[in-house]
Structure 1
Amino acid sequence: MAHRLAAVPGVVGVMLGGSRARGEHRPGSDWDLGVYYRGDLDLGALRALAGPGVEVAAPGDWGPWVNGGAWLRAEGNAVDWILRDLDRVRQVWDRCREGRYEVGTQAGHPLGFWSPCYAGEVALGRVLADPTGELSGLRRETADYPEPLRDALTAAAWEAEFLVEGAAKGAARADGLYVSLCLSRAVGVLVQALFAADRRWCLNEKGALAVAGTLPGAPAGFARRVSELLGAPGSTAEELTATVAGARELVARTRAAL
């Protein structure tokens, strides 16, 4: 399938991504194929390859970052095609090497889409079809985590403290939604910082907390404590205030460890 995709006009190459590329998959895990393209992509050829009844989303149809693609089945397996504009991926990679990143709003990513994910997908993926060798070259580049990006993401952990102080104001008003959103975002910022400190690519929120808790920079019991705080934040002002106090202490310990 990867080689047939690579023959579609506009497609530069195809990578296996997700848990299967990292060797962390389960028997029923999807097969994620990153379809890297440049310029005008022949959607008609993609749709013909996908077969009848399969909707192929054009670039941008799935949002500004996830882009487009298709969900289909092949020989009983769930297969996802995920479109990636290779020029944009390279642009993001260049910015990562300068210590610059952005966090965009994207459906399916409750803590936002962190742009370094583009580079991380290449670094952690497996090249399946690469007629020009460009994907393989980019994969070699991304194998080394950029120190400027590490510095930027670990320094950005300050936001977690700022969010906790905002949550304290919401707790006094018994505003459970605001408190939960602030604390979830605070944890997400800390997780990104912990991954970066270990020079490890963080691709999305799924499973990231469990991994972050095992990293050298994480304080003892980090993942367990986060689960306790977010799992039962409370509903009254008193309960929410106590949760925020626990989060404040955890943020302080994590920042000190970083």
Structure 2
Amino acid sequence: MREIIEDMAEQLAGVPGVVGVTLGGSRARGEHTADSDWDLGVYYRGGALDLDALRALAGPGVEVAGPGAWGPWVNGGAWLRVDGVAVDWILRDVDRVERVWADCREGRYEVGVQAGHPLGFWSPCYPGEVACGQVLADPTGELTALRAAIGYPEPLREALIAASWEAGFLLDAAAKGAGRADTLYVSLCVSRAFGILVQALHAHARRWCLNEKGALATAGHLPAAPADFARRVRTLLAAPGGSADDLAATVARAQALARETIAALAP
């Protein structure tokens, strides 16, 4: 299967407008199983991408979504099956990736609404994908050079750790929702609060957090994570409660864990 993927990457790199192709996800990290998808980052430049050539390469019956069709951050792509295995093409505008990388070096980032990302799409994912991926096809060497240049910027680390204040703010708001027995509001506040803290824990360890999948489990093993962090968060999210008293108890436990985590992140 690896040979098929590498051949596909070379063909993709020959499509007008495509700069290069990377392998991402669990396959790139060596954490995959036999059933894991093959995630291919298809890096293109601006308006030069030849969508008709991509569609011809994908074959009949495969929908290829152009830039912007899937939302503002996950630009587009296609879902294929090759020998019964899922292969995902994910479009990435290389100029935008480079702009985001420049922002990250200055400690600036965005969190955008994006389908498929319930805690939002965190812009550092763009350079993180390049840093953590494997370059499969790169005719001009541009992706290889970009990958070599990407380290974890200290200003970004400081900014993501500093942003952990919002976790406390959200949990204070959740306490008010608990008094109204508003389970949805409390659950959303608690989920987002710990999503922010998971990002901060990754940043503290200078580790790219690429999306929500598996992020809690990974965060639980990072140096600044409090004891049993992942288990405690799972317990909070699994059964927040339905009554005002139960929700208030959940929020109180969440606040205690958040304070412990923020203290561990402090210089």
TM tier relative to shorter chain = over 0.9
Aligned with 1:166: secondary structure? Answer: helix
Instruction: Give, in whole Å, the separation in 2 of the partners of 1:36 and 1:12.
Output: 5
Report whether the alignment pairs 1:172 with 2:211: no
User: Once the 2 structures are TM-superposed, how far is the Cα of residue 116 of structure 1 from its aligned partner?
Assistant: 0.2
1:192 paired residue number: 199
* Pairing 1:236–2:204 present: no
Paired letter, 2:64: V
Count of matched residue pairs: 257
Residue deviations 1:173-214 (CA, integer Å, cap 9, x gap):
000000000000000000000000000000000110000000
The answer on 1:63 being equivalent to 2:51 is no
Runs of 4+ in 1 over 6 A off after TM superposition: none
Secondary structure of 2:223's match?
coil
Cα distance in 2 for partners of 1:108, 1:78 equals: 17
Question: By how many angstroms is 1:141 displaced?
Answer: 1.1
Report the Cα distance in structure 2 between the residues aligned to 1:141 and 1:178, rounded to whole angstroms. Answer: 42
Gaps of 5+ in 2: 1-7
Deviation of the 1:73 alpha carbon: 1.4
After superposition, the C-alpha distances for 1:96-132 in whole angstroms (9 at most, x for unaligned) are 0000000000011000000000010000000000000
Q: Tell me the distance in 2 between the aligned counterparts of 1:17 and 1:132.
A: 20
* CA–CA distance in structure 1, aligned partners of residues 119 and 37 of structure 2: 22
Q: CA deviation at 1:75?
A: 2.8
Tell me if 1:102 matches 2:106: no
Point out where structure 1 has 5 or more consecutive residues left out of the alignment: none
1:74 aligned residue: 82
Give distance in 2, aligned partners of 1:184 and 1:249: 15
Question: Scaled by the length of structure 1, what TM-score is found?
Answer: 0.99
Secondary structure of 1:220 counterpart:
coil
Match of 1:11 in 2: 18
Per-residue deviation, 1:77: 2.0
Q: Who is 2:134 aligned against?
A: 126
Looking at structure 2, the residues matched to 7 and 140 of structure 1 have their Cα atoms a distance apart, in angstroms, of 23
- Give the distance between the partners of 2:137 and 2:210, measured in 1 at CA: 22
Residue 250 of structure 1: SS of its match in structure 2? helix
Looking at structure 2, the residues matched to 8 and 228 of structure 1 have their Cα atoms a distance apart, in angstroms, of 48
User: How far apart, CA to CA, are the structure 1 residues paired with 2:160 and 2:114?
Assistant: 20
Question: Percent sequence identity over matched residues?
Answer: 75
* Structure 2 residue 28 is matched with structure 1 residue 21: yes
Residues of 2 paired with 1:41 and 1:218: CA distance?
A: 43
